Amino acid sequence: MSSERPLALVTGASRGIGAAGATALAPTHDLLLGGRDAAALSQIAGRLGGRALPWPVDLTDPAALAAATERIDELDVLVHSAGVGVLGTVDELSADVWRQQFEVNVVAVAELTRLLLPALRAARGTVVCLNSGAGLAARPGWGAYAASKFAQRAFADSLRAEEPSLRVCSVHPGRVDTDMQRAVVAHEGGSYDPARYLRPESVAAAVLAAVGASPDAHVTEVVVRPMG
């Protein structure tokens, strides 16, 4: 994309918080919409108009990721919204489940950032990691997911210290009305009431606050909880 507007790449942009974050950034940024569902990304891009392009890639495929990033030479905003969450006790979850969550929630985040560091440095950009309340406190049955989110927070903290020209923010929302939340509630055996949870748009507002902070400000961490 060639434009005077800043460029933002949002992963997990086909639904939920990622789609809401892309929508919040659309008035001021050109957008690359990351995800694996090309059809869904095209729908979001069409809704956002000509300033958004689908960027379909499997974040866990290193070769595909390298190919997808090689032409991005300047990037103002990178929002890591893609993630997976599988709940279960230590006794219940296999090593493969632990690996899957770390592969998506940590390794893919680190590798995509690494590949885009030259582009981010060129723009003195902002990196936002959509973390979780589970990245601040672990609960029974949340061990694997929480461990991956604790690791993601450590990654963001290290990146912030290593790259003084960048702004790096971890956003820790409470429970959000998403497909993942529906799966969590089903796992817990509860009934689903969307009114009990944050709207994706409310989390997107926190992302926008971090991205739009004044030049003298560095928003390093945002915690957002549902009211009530």
Catalytic residues: 145
- Report DSSP letters for the chain, one per residue: ---SS-EEEETTTTSHHHHHHHHHHTTT-EEEEEES-HHHHHHHHHHH-TTEEEEE--TT-HHHHHHHHTT----SEEEE---------TTT--HHHHHHHHIIIIIHHHHHHHHHHHHHHHHT-EEEEE--GGGT---TT-HHHHHHHHHHHHHHHHHHHH-TTSEEEEEEE--BSSHHHHHHHHHHT----GGGSB-HHHHHHHHHHHHT--TT----EEEE----
